Structure 1
Amino acid sequence: MLLKMYNHTHFKLNIKYMKILVFGATGSQQFNVISEGIKKGAEVIAATSSGKSFEKLSQAGATPVLANLSDAQRIVEITKDIDAIAFMIPVSLQNPFDGLQYAKNVIDAAKKNSVKKIVWNTSGWLESEKVGSPVDDVKLDVRDYLQNSGINYVIIEPTIYMENLMGGFCAPFIKNEKKLAYPTPEAMPIGWIASRDVSAFVVEAIYNQDLTSDSFQISGLENLSGNETADNFSKGVGENIVYYPQPPKEFKDILTPFVGEAGAASVASYYESLQNANEYPKKFNPDMSGVLEKLPVKMTSLEEWAKNNKEYFFNS
């Protein structure tokens, strides 16, 4: 179904019909790539390492395929006849450095099977240089490998997901104590972004034929302090919710059963470093208008998102 005229630097796709392979679709960060792709008329194939996910993926409209990112040969098999790949490194890896090999397996298979584009959701803004954190540092190696692969690519770097507020360290506080708990200082502003918006950016990047070696730092359109976050959330759910800057140790204790002691300690140490910081890391792109010109997405405000998810917080 591909038009014949393309080369390594530019390509033409029959955009009425595309086959998109999604990695990470069982999680909240990539799940909505399925519906956003279907809206465009794509056939969406979703890779999963567990047959238990087949029903969820099928119900969402995707064709599930069993594959483990560590199995290079299997990745070659499932990338045959694929037009584009929506990729993400699994968030909770016991060994973060495995993420580089997993990415290489996908990129090498895509090259072998002449996949026309890879769009990589980095699950956070990339660092400018290695910082000694395996989770962050390995992404820079993945970026270099992708950029040198000869494959057309787009890198989507989102800020902090609104869906993080659904986590076990936050949601129970909202329901039981009317507190929006998050382990960042009240004064630190965040451009919260909805996962559906990120998925829409990924799909728009797949379909924009002019983007062949591009990176976008994306955020929501609002840069909110802790109190502003709580105020906007309150408007959405119709309840008076106050901001609670959660102590990193409390955050770590709640997170440990979900990701293990080492993973929780690693994340908590990052938030610990913010407590006495003179300057906060940027979590907002003031030039989103420029991004939206190339990737037209209807953005979701935090108030709107909270309204849409009120049932989750108060009736779950």
Structure 2
Amino acid sequence: MRILVFGATGSQQFHVIAESKKKGADVIAATSTDKNFEKLQQAGAEPVLGDISNAAQMVEITKGIDAIAFMIPVSLPNPFDGLQFSKNVIDAANQNGVKKIVWNTSGWLEDQKTGMPTDDVKLDVKDYLIASGLEYVIIEPTIYMENMMGGFCAPFVTNEKKLAYPTPQAMPIGWLASRDVSALMVEAIYNPNLTADSFRVSGLENLKGDELADRFSKGVGEKITYYTQPPAEFRDILSPFVGQAAAAAVASYYQGLQNATHYPSKFNPNMQEILEKLPVEMTSLEAWASENKGFFIN
């Protein structure tokens, strides 16, 4: 099995390499710059230059590929480019006889367009993938545990013993480890019975803010309290990394949550049914915090 991975230099897709290697796959990792070659090689992948905006290049690197672990690049300057970039990959896969695409959508897809470009374009990509005739599996993850490693959260843990996140204390979330998502994707690639399927996935615990802080505290062995971060503070910390416009848009979403009386679901209570098809041992928040203690606690 030859698996081509997109986004493997980022936290969301990096573990696809190791999970694929466990199955004995040959892993090819696409990257837009050779600066990432060493990291990918050390992880066990064969790096290839592949600019997702270049249709001809996508045709070239998908030759001889059996399956693709796909993800739209995060924080595109123009989110609507995500559709054409996805078409480049899907069309190349069709041209070269790739058997299956497994797509990590980086969040639960909306039921209909909402006016948010980053969300709306994914619905167009979904329609195009379904119409392509390729076998596919769509993995829709909830919020990543790795988000807590961001500059808007981790320094608060280290310096103030606060777990900062811009979601309300009362809002429950099924936090999910990126390694688990990667494992689910690889299981989807190898399951021949999954050819036109979509799964909304979450962690197995639906944790409110104080419960999140409790599990995190047990993992790192120190008392950490939950801090509902003001969206404006979150925006100011995030802006240098993604730009003011993108940070403002995300902060606006979190402001809406903090003003809400009903919260969107970020937990799938039927995960055990999914795990029967995609057998993965899921990571608890406490175990994840323990594993990453050194990142947060000096």
Quote the Cα distance in structure 1 between the aligned partners of 2:88 and 2:249.
27
CA deviation after TM superposition for structure 1 residue 242, in Å: 0.1
Give the residue type in structure 1 aligned to 2:145.
M
Task: Report SS of the residue matched to 1:29.
Answer: coil
* 2:21 is the counterpart of 1:38: yes
CA deviation after TM superposition for structure 1 residue 276, in Å: 1.4
Match of 1:238 among 209, 215, 221: 221
CA deviation after TM superposition for structure 1 residue 48, in Å: 0.2
CA deviation after TM superposition for structure 1 residue 293, in Å: 0.4
CA deviation after TM superposition for structure 1 residue 269, in Å: 0.5
Q: TM-score, normalised by structure 1?
A: 0.94
Aligned length: 298
Q: For the aligned residues, what is the CA RMSD?
A: 0.4
- 1:11 corresponds to: none
Task: Report SS of the residue matched to 2:12.
Answer: helix
Quote the Cα distance in structure 1 between the aligned partners of 2:189 and 2:50.
22
* 2:292 is the counterpart of 1:309: yes
Quote the Cα distance in structure 1 between the aligned partners of 2:170 and 2:33.
41
- 2:7 corresponds to: 24
CA deviation after TM superposition for structure 1 residue 278, in Å: 2.0
Matches within 5 A, 1:83-94: 83-94=66-77
After the TM superposition, which segments of 4 or more aligned residues of structure 1 sit over 2 Å from their partners?
Answer: none
Query: Unpaired segments of 5 or more residues in structure 1?
Result: 1-17
- 2:147 corresponds to: 164
* 2:271 is the counterpart of 1:288: yes
Quote the Cα distance in structure 1 between the aligned partners of 2:115 and 2:261.
20
CA deviation after TM superposition for structure 1 residue 50, in Å: 1.1
Give the residue type in structure 1 aligned to 2:147.
N
Matches within 5 A, 1:1-316: 18-315=1-298
- Residues 184 and 280 in structure 2, CA contact (< 8 A), matched pair in contact too: yes
Q: TM-score, normalised by structure 2?
A: 1.00
Task: Report SS of the residue matched to 1:263.
Answer: helix
CA deviation after TM superposition for structure 1 residue 200, in Å: 0.1
Quote the Cα distance in structure 2 between the aligned partners of 1:205 and 1:35.
15
Quote the Cα distance in structure 2 between the aligned partners of 1:256 and 1:229.
26
- 1:6 corresponds to: none
Query: For 1:216-268, what per-residue CA distance to the aligned partner results, in whole angstroms no more than 9, with x for missing partners?
Result: 00000000000000000000000000000000000000000000001100110
Query: Unpaired segments of 5 or more residues in structure 2?
Result: none
- Residues 174 and 203 in structure 2, CA contact (< 8 A), matched pair in contact too: yes
